[in-house]
Amino acid sequence: MLKTEQMVLNMGPQHPSTHGVLRLELELEGEIIVNVKPHLGYLHRCFEKHCEAMTYPQIIPYVDRLDYLASMNNEMGYAIAVERLLDIKVPERVEYIRVIMAELQRIASHMVAVGTYGIDIGAFTPFLYLFRDRERILTLFEKTCGARLLYNYIWVGGLSHDLPINFVNETRDFLNDFKKTVIEVNNLLSYNKIFIERTANVGVLNVESAINYGITGPNLRASGLKWDIRRNDPYSIYDRFDFEIPVGEGLHGQVGDCWDRYYLRVQEMIQSIRIVEQALDQLPEGEITSALPKRIKPVEGQLYSRVENPKGELGYFIVSKGQLQPFRVKVRPPSFINLSVLGELCKGHLIADVIAILGSIDIVLGEVDR
């Protein structure tokens, strides 16, 4: 009598394609996935505990370390949340610089996402191309605030430094070069036969389950829903810019498959270039320090404030008891919630597809575990 047995296989916490220290417990029927259970907590960094002990400005460096590929966006979200609590209005120039930084950071984050996704599937060259260009963004950041990865640049009510001399020209140079490389990388990877075979029609996420799982960001848009907080609930000055919101169209398979999720990030990079260019054109002169509060002590109250991060909707829920420290800061991390759909997407696929699907969701473990 032949009989088959289910097998349990552990993937991670040390695995080159789990994008960090994630452990997946795979239940297999031969090579077919029956169930996927993610095990978290290998990078738990007790963000909320820290927030109980720190004052509002002291929290900013910890906010950087949530999604360490998109520190500027995290800072911007946090600064906006506290500013709403304090009812501060920041100067025009600060708003523009923030948008420029956030969009450059979005490009950098998507570069890592696209580059490492290529590696996951077996294409190494795009990674090298993209990291070469990412280095230029990091240099721009470094000139501005002295740090390459974790900046502590966007403060509540302002910025730590003004832009350095020549920043505008250098950024323009970079954007002009990058406009070409993004097309080059796209042509290298997106239409490659092997790449399409590996990603098209794999891990299809339809709109209903995306909404039910609370998926946000590129993953939701790849499923066909035009939902972008920059447009639907504008914060800062995003309503002044002209940009498109790409959605998944299922060019090589069904709408919402891995290829769509990957390709959406490529398109978003192009849109971010447009936003940065417009912001550079409109960048006003002026000072940046006038709105910096002497002491940050919001009145009693609570609020939820959200921004569009490269990974999705990043929300901060802050409870203030009228002290120098917040009573509670709760983060709604996009990666954590996007990861929850992994089990459903993987069911019925081959074991090699788990890597393709996980890479296309683009998680960062710092944000998943916090």
* Interface mask toward ligand SF4 for 28-67; x: CB under 6 A: -------------------------------------x--
68 class by beta-carbon count within 10 Å (0-12 exposed, 13-18 middle, 19+ buried): middle
One DSSP character per residue, 158-193 reads: EESSPPPTTHHHHHHHHHHHHHHHHHHHHHHHTT-H
> Least Å distance between CB 150 and ligand SF4?
6
Indicate left, alpha or beta for 132 from its phi (over 0: left) and psi (-120 to 50: alpha): alpha
In the complex with another protein, the residue whose CB is nearer, 70 or 220, is: 70
Q: In angstroms, what CA-CA distances link 261 with 190, 247, 341, 369?
A: 11, 9, 14, 23
Of ligand SF4, another protein, none, which one does residue 301 interact with (CB within 5 to 8 Å by kind)? none
Instruction: Name the CA radius of gyration of the chain, rounded.
Output: 21
How far is it, in rounded angstroms, from Cα 189 to Cα 294? 51
> Least Å distance between CB 363 and ligand SF4?
17
Q: Amino acid identity, residue 308?
A: E
In the complex with ligand SF4, the residue whose CB is nearer, 65 or 84, is: 65
How far is it, in rounded angstroms, from Cα 12 to Cα 236? 40
> Least Å distance between CB 239 and another protein?
32
> Least Å distance between CB 366 and another protein?
6
**How far is the first Cα of the chain from the last one, in angstroms, to the nearest whole number?**
50
65, 58 Cβ separation under 8 angstroms: no
How far is it, in rounded angstroms, from Cα 131 to Cα 137? 10
> Least Å distance between CB 59 and another protein?
11
Helices within 190-244 (DSSP H only):
193-199, 207-213, 218-222, 229-232
Of another protein, ligand SF4, none, which one does residue 299 interact with (CB within 5 to 8 Å by kind)? none
In the complex with ligand SF4, the residue whose CB is nearer, 123 or 138, is: 138
Question: Binding to ligand SF4 by residue 349, rule CB under 6 A?
Answer: no
Of another protein, ligand SF4, none, which one does residue 15 interact with (CB within 5 to 8 Å by kind)? another protein
> Least Å distance between CB 19 and ligand SF4?
15
Of ligand SF4, another protein, none, which one does residue 20 interact with (CB within 5 to 8 Å by kind)? another protein
- Please give the residue whose beta carbon sits closest to ligand SF4 in the complex: 65
Residue ranges in contact with another protein by CB under 8 A: 13-16, 20-21, 41-46, 49-50, 53-54, 61-62, 65, 68-69, 112, 127-129, 131-132, 134-135, 138, 148-150, 365-366
> Least Å distance between CB 68 and ligand SF4?
6
Q: Which residues of the shown chain bind ligand SF4 in the complex (CB under 6 A)? A: 65, 150
